[in-house]
Structure 1
Amino acid sequence: MVVIVRMVLRRVALLVPLTLGIVLFVFLVMEFSDTDPAAAYFMGGNPTQEQLENFREENGLNDPLAVRYVAFLGDLARGDMGTSVLGREQVADQVGTALPLTMQLTFLGLGLGVGLALVFGVLAAIYRDRLPDQAIRVVSLTGVAAPSFWIALLMIQYLAVELGWFPTGGYTNPADSLTGWLETMAMPAVALSLPVAAALTRIVRTAVVEELDRDYVRTAVGSGLPPVVVVGRNVLRNALINPLTVLGLRVGYLLGGAVVIETIFNLPGMGKLMIDAVRNGDPAVVQGVVLTTALGFVVINLVIDILYLLVNPRLRSAD
């Protein structure tokens, strides 16, 4: 346990320079973009040059770049991401309203994708080179080639418009109706998860096949243990090490795909918030959404890294 805690603390410590680097990158991208915060603030108001200069002076936009960056870090430390130039709302409040829905969609897609990958990956490995394995490989290759937005459009056309099984879009809060929440989140979660499930299925299959060929599996089966027990207790645990290393990258795909999926299904999450901010020229909101999404990706990868340590005893003992 001491070894695990030491390794976790080491990885947490690495987050400090990584987080500062992300904040600096996002800050510089927004600083050198073509969007003028002063012009965006007076959008549609036909301001004079004097009004624009007064706004820049009052908000520190004329200060040196290093001074603005230090002020930006100080604001972030206090939880201040700036103010939206349109609704004059705090960006942190807008992000706090949109983030829970994006997290719901991301983790629903992640859970569904991992569950499907485990089931079909193990089945394909057990029936390797036979009909179930060949069918699963064909379906997984198709799923990898099919983008999530295309799957979403097909689902809307056939499951929502033609069959009427699900609503075409919108969002129902689970506190208001759990059934309504499931109906509005089902198609977005499935559309987001299928490409991830298809990619992970191939990785799980390969890892399980390698474990099934090891001597300890033949010994356990030869000693009379049921194959289901051997696969569930030993093979699957050892085979999960390689898929976990890939899962962190797939979380980034899920977060990026959620932007498109939320727009297609009209879900008021981070994706829709950013698309609306870009369309309306609201730089503070764009900066807040990008920064929150990037830091969320880092935190989720830290969690997956810790899980990797827990399921890989060889790595722990080698440290």
Structure 2
Amino acid sequence: MAVIARILARRLVLLVPLLLGIVLFVFLVMRFSDSDPASAFFQGANPTPRQLHDFRERNGLLDPLPVRYFHFVGDLVRGDMGISVLTRQPVADQVTTALPLTLQLTFLGLAVAVVVSLVLGVTAAIHRDRLADQIIRVVSLTGVAAPGFWLALLMIQYLAVGEGWFPTGGYVNPADSFTGWLRCMTLPALSLSLPVAAQLTRIVRTAVVEELDKDYVRTAIGSGLPPVVVVGRNVLRNALINPLTVLGLRVGYLLGGAVVVETIFSLPGMGKLMIDAVKNGDPAVVQGVVLTTAVGFVVVNLAIDILYLMVNPRLRGAP
């Protein structure tokens, strides 16, 4: 544990310049975009040039760019993401309200992708070049090619509208009804996770096949250990390194895909908040959502790094 703690501390130190770089990138993109916070604030009010100037002066928009960046970072450290020009509410409050739903959708989709890919990938590897392997490979290839929004529309058409098994959209708080929450989250989670599961299935199959061909596996099976025990205890542990790498990268897809999925299923999460902010010209909210998503991606990849260390102790000697 002490080794893991030291490595984790080093990774956290390296995250500081990375996060500052992300903040700088978002800051520059928003400052050099066509959006004008002053015009957005007075949207539809026909402000005078004097009113626009006073607003910009009062909010530091006329300060030099380095000064504005310094104040921007300071505000973020205090948890201040600015004020929404549309609702006149703190952006941090809106993000805090929308974030739990997006996290639920993302991690539910992540869990589905991991379980499906492990089951199908290991099954295909064990039955290599047989019928089950061929079917799983064709299905996974189809899943890789299928975009998430297309799957979402198909599921709505056939499983929600056609069969009536699930609602077409909306959200139920799990504290009010867990079964209602599960029904309204099933189709969004499936449409978000199946393309990721398809890609991971192919990678898991390849990694497990490579491990099954190694001498230690033949020795273990030859010594009388059941193949299921060998696969579960040794093969998977060594085969999960590559899938974990891809999983860390695909978290970005899940977070980005949530924008589309939440819009299709009318879920009041970060994606819908982002779309509404873009449509209504609310730069502070767009900025807050992008920053929160980027930080979430970095944090999840840090968690993946920790999983590396748990799965493969040899990596604990890595810098």
Equivalent position amino acid for 2:312 in 1 = N
Deviation at 1:3, TM superposition (A): 2.4
Deviation at 1:66, TM superposition (A): 0.7
Separation (CA, whole Å) in 1 of partners of 2:24 and 2:180: 41
What corresponds to 2:83 in structure 1? Answer: 83
| Match runs of 1:164-179 below 5 Å | 164-179=164-179
What corresponds to 2:245 in structure 1? Answer: 245
Separation (CA, whole Å) in 1 of partners of 2:285 and 2:264: 20
Deviation at 1:241, TM superposition (A): 1.2
1:284-313 per-residue CA deviation (whole Å, 9 max, x = no partner) reads 000000000000000000000111122112
Separation (CA, whole Å) in 1 of partners of 2:268 and 2:48: 35
Deviation at 1:242, TM superposition (A): 1.3
2:142 aligned with 1:142? yes
**Deviation beyond 6 Å, 4+ runs, structure 1:** none
2:292 aligned with 1:281? no
| Match runs of 1:24-103 below 5 Å | 24-103=24-103
Deviation at 1:318, TM superposition (A): 5.6
Equivalent position amino acid for 1:267 in 2 = L
Separation (CA, whole Å) in 2 of partners of 1:313 and 1:306: 11
Percent sequence identity is 79
Equivalent position amino acid for 1:48 in 2 = T
Deviation at 1:317, TM superposition (A): 4.1
| Match runs of 1:1-319 below 5 Å | 1-317=1-317
Separation (CA, whole Å) in 2 of partners of 1:315 and 1:86: 49
1:19-64 per-residue CA deviation (whole Å, 9 max, x = no partner) reads 0000000000000010010000000111111111111111111111
1:79-111 per-residue CA deviation (whole Å, 9 max, x = no partner) reads 000000011000000000000000000000000
Greater Cα offset, 1-10 or 24-33: 1-10
Separation (CA, whole Å) in 1 of partners of 2:202 and 2:259: 26
Any unmatched runs of 5+ in structure 1? Answer: none
Separation (CA, whole Å) in 1 of partners of 2:46 and 2:313: 65
Count of aligned residue pairs for this structure pair: 319
Output the TM-score relative to the length of structure 1.
0.99
Separation (CA, whole Å) in 2 of partners of 1:318 and 1:280: 48
Deviation at 1:156, TM superposition (A): 0.3
1:232-276 per-residue CA deviation (whole Å, 9 max, x = no partner) reads 111111111111111110100100000000000000000000000
**Superposition CA RMSD, Å:** 0.8
Any unmatched runs of 5+ in structure 2? Answer: none
Q: Is the 8 A contact 2:192 2:261 kept in 1?
A: yes
Q: Is the 8 A contact 2:156 2:168 kept in 1?
A: yes
**3-state SS of 2:205 partner:** helix
Equivalent position amino acid for 1:261 in 2 = V
Deviation at 1:68, TM superposition (A): 0.6
Distance 1:86 1:208, change over 3 A: same
Separation (CA, whole Å) in 1 of partners of 2:41 and 2:4: 50
Deviation at 1:122, TM superposition (A): 0.1
Deviation at 1:2, TM superposition (A): 2.8
Equivalent position amino acid for 1:242 in 2 = N
Separation (CA, whole Å) in 1 of partners of 2:198 and 2:79: 39
Separation (CA, whole Å) in 2 of partners of 1:122 and 1:100: 33
Greater Cα offset, 2-11 or 78-87: 2-11
**3-state SS of 2:45 partner:** coil
Equivalent position amino acid for 1:282 in 2 = D
